Amino acid sequence: MLVHVPNVLTADEVARVRGILEASEWVDGRETAGEQAAMAKFNLQIPEGSQAGMEAGDIILRALGRNATFNSAALPLRVLPPLFNRYDAGMTFHAHVDGAIRAMPHNGQRIRADVSTTLFLTAPDEYDGGELIVEDTYGNHSVKLPVGDMIVYPSTSLHHVTPITRGSRWSSFFWTQSMIKDDGKRTLMYDLDQAIIDIRSKLDDREHSVVALTSHYHNLLRRWAEL
């Protein structure tokens, strides 16, 4: 399931994040990649655990907390602190699957990467190339979103970033351990939640159909959630 989440960051929040990143140092992205990914990864990255990364990441984490679409799609249990990358002309990231287990930077707690997210910090007209290509059973999906928007997709997906031919592409990326690790079940829950939102816009919340659907949603979540 790929979900486009628009307007995650306000224009002011984008400016604040960009300002932090513009004043920060960038390192070779391969320094934070595993052995296999390092052979496919050609970009720059804000060092993990840096003060700048944590400051910019906190802005994003607060925005995620208020975003109903992200919470509906990911059903987050834990979110790894956001990281930041940059692709300049000629840079790319070849096809790969994200690692299954990540570690929190400060306490070393391991989390399972169920959901991957890319938040775009540069507008599409600022660069050529740089599309995120996500592969699933329905084919290849090319993603290049407005600044402040993000894409949410299963971490099991094979994906890559096409080479930059002009400009620079900046983004934040992070992983979520979901309360429901199975993507098929998460998709059912997301679709059901969207249906409930739609029917609530047309009927009174006390209507039997609204109450019944909401009850089914929570009982399925109770049955499938792992805390």
CATH 2.60.120.620 occupies which residues in the chain? 3-178
* Chain segment 15-73, per-residue pLDDT in tens: 999 999 999 999 998 776 666 666 789 999 999 889 999 999 999 999 999 999 999 99
Question: Residue 9: how many CB atoms within 10 A of its CB?
Answer: 24
CB-based contact 77:114 (threshold 8 Å): no
State the average pLDDT over residues 102-128: 95
Kindly compute the dihedral angle of the four CA atoms of residues 125, 130, 136, 140, in this order, to the nearest 10 degrees. Answer: 70
Q: Please answer whether residues 98 and 175 qualify as being in contact, where contact means their C-beta atoms are separated by less than 8 angstroms.
A: yes
- CATH number for the 183-224 domain, one of 4.10.860, 3.40.50, 1.10.3470, 2.40.128? 4.10.860
pLDDT tens digit sequence for 122-164? 999 999 999 999 999 889 999 999 999 999 999 999 999 999 9
Where in the sequence of the chain do the CATH 4.10.860 domains occur?
183-224
Q: Does 216 score more than 70 pLDDT?
A: yes
Q: Give me the CATH topology for the region 3-178.
A: Jelly Rolls (2.60.120)
Inter-residue contact 70 to 64 (CB < 8 Å): yes
Annotated binding site: 96, 98, 159, 169
Question: Binding site membership for 2-oxoglutarate: which residues?
Answer: 169
Stretch 81-107: mean pLDDT, rounded? 94
**What rounded mean pLDDT belongs to the chain?**
95
Is the pLDDT at 76 greater than 80, yes or no?
yes
Annotated binding-site residue numbers for Fe cation: 96, 98, 159
